[in-house]
Amino acid sequence: MRLSSRLSLTQQNALLLVIFFIAFELLTTVVTAYFLMLPMARRSATDLSGLMTLSVQTWNELPPVTRPAFEYELVRSHALALRAEPPRNAVAPTWREPFLKFLVAALNERVGEPVASSLEPVGDEEWFWVSLPAGGGRLSVGLPHERIGPRPLHALLVSLAGGMLLSLAAAWWLARRTTRPLQRLEQAVTSLGRGQTPECLPETGPREIAALSRRFNEMTKQVEELLAARTVLLAGVSHDLRTPLARLRLAVEMLVRKPSPQLAAQVEGDIEAMDRLIGDVLTLARGLGHEAVQRVVLSDFCAKLVQSIPGASDRVRVEIADVTLDVPPGALRRILANLLENALRYGGDQPVSLRAEVRDGRCRVGVLDRGPGIPPDELETVYRPFYRLEASRSVNTGGSGLGLAIVRQLAMAQGWQAWLQAREGGGLAAWLEIPLQQVGKAG
């Protein structure tokens, strides 16, 4: 199993940040040491070697009576000690500090010969001593370990430790900031999967998280609408099938007792009504299915559609220019047929216009009638399954109540827009809008 699959997002972020920080720290240390600290250490060692050789020369030239005062001032001002005798209990240097190497190299160059160096513990301190020539003899010059200022190794270790702690804290904060909305999303998805309705996610935070929350809220709303539509659909179907089924049961009993052509016609009519209702339900259920796209000439397409609808040829006026559409013809036919049937049913005896126009990069196909129209507060409500403005439940007078629901469902499945609006001068205008990429001019 891969390591990343066993780590949480917080742990992965922390590990990555620590690795990147260590790499950055090492690179920064190497660059700083090579271009800044090493030149400064060499220059400081050269200056200190000059001070040490000058102190030895000065001490050698002073009268013996003034040498103690000079030694005191040298320790007080420069933390350097002079000693005529060699250091006691001296050991070889371990060269833990690169600065000491630079100091010995600078003294060798300044004196012109190799100088001896040693370490001597003095109380709780550790002193570094070098033996320099003084006249005819030699003089020991020493300095405490605390006088060596730069400690790059210590600085590197401290900065690495502090950086790791900061990176862990930053990783934890970033992971919490990132995973908190993801945890809310996980809980919401779990609730949605169980059939529950989750609360809307806050559309805040980083752009990607906000966009994800927005899309999930939209999906939740669509699922709620789909579940509500399914419930209404099932309830409406069960309700609308009971009436013809009751008439069928009664007609069958009467046919057994006394057959007649009128009862047979009634039975056939009820069966046709039930078949139409079932067909509408199946069409609505298959609204999200995909149909092959074909190129159609809209004027010819609408003319044939009008001819196929009983009673439409005398009342529908087709006002469409030569426009071609690359669309699924079945979906377009069903949408326009439902709109035309509604206009013919509710438009009285007035003519119905079927027109199309191309504007603003879109093709708009409209079915316009001069009927009583729809109240403004119900222009969206009529798209619900089985919702009817007509008070009766008769299929002959009010339809099945699924026509506009099918129109909206098919339009949404194809990426089109369908809406209703009051027509100027009275009546209703039903529009279907198709994007420009699906439109072409006939040539």
The CATH number of whichever domain residue 133 belongs to comes to 3.30.450.300
- C-alpha to C-alpha distance for 293 and 403, rounded to whole angstroms: 23
Residues with Cβ within 8 Å of residue 34, at least 6 apart in sequence? none
Where in 208-347 does DSSP place strands (E)?
294-297, 316-319, 323-327
Look at residues 155, 180, 210 and tell me which one is the last residue of a structural domain.
155
* Total tally of structural domains belonging to the chain: 3
| Phi, psi for 38 (deg, rounded to 5) | -65, -45
- Is residue 180 in some structural domain? no
**Residue 33 sits in the same domain as residue 151:** yes
Tokens describing residue 147 = 């006088």
Report which of 124, 166, 126, 119 is spatially closest to residue 140, judged by C-alpha positions.
119
Q: What is the pLDDT along the chain (443 residues), one digit of tens a residue?
A: 454 456 776 677 777 777 887 788 778 877 877 887 778 888 988 999 999 999 999 998 999 899 999 999 999 999 899 988 888 878 888 766 778 888 899 999 999 999 999 888 877 888 889 999 988 788 999 998 877 755 656 666 777 777 778 877 877 787 777 777 877 888 888 887 777 778 888 888 778 878 888 888 888 887 777 676 666 666 656 666 776 787 778 777 777 777 788 778 777 877 877 777 777 666 656 654 566 888 888 889 999 999 988 888 888 999 887 788 888 888 888 889 889 988 888 877 788 999 998 887 788 999 999 888 888 888 887 877 666 665 443 444 455 567 787 788 778 878 889 999 988 888 899 999 988 665 444 44
- C-alpha to C-alpha distance for 307 and 316, rounded to whole angstroms: 10
**Residue 279 sits in the same domain as residue 358:** no
**Residue 295 sits in the same domain as residue 436:** yes
**Residue 149 sits in the same domain as residue 13:** yes
For residue 441, what pLDDT is reported? Answer: 44
Alpha-carbon distances, residue 196 vs 187, 188, 190 (angstroms): 11, 9, 9
**Residue 301 sits in the same domain as residue 422:** yes
User: Are 410 and 333 within 8 A, CB to CB?
Assistant: no
User: Are 342 and 368 within 8 A, CB to CB?
Assistant: no
- C-alpha to C-alpha distance for 399 and 386, rounded to whole angstroms: 9
Range of the domain at 81: 3-155
Which letter does DSSP use for residue 124 in this model? T
User: Are 412 and 391 within 8 A, CB to CB?
Assistant: no
192: exposed, middle or buried (Cβ count in 10 Å: 0-12, 13-18, 19+): middle
- C-alpha to C-alpha distance for 404 and 200, rounded to whole angstroms: 29
Alpha-carbon distances, residue 410 vs 11, 68, 294, 415 (angstroms): 48, 107, 16, 9
- Is residue 239 in some structural domain? yes
- Is residue 225 in some structural domain? yes
Reading phi first (left if > 0) and then psi (alpha if -120 to 50, else beta), residue 399 is in left
The CATH number of whichever domain residue 208 belongs to comes to 1.10.287
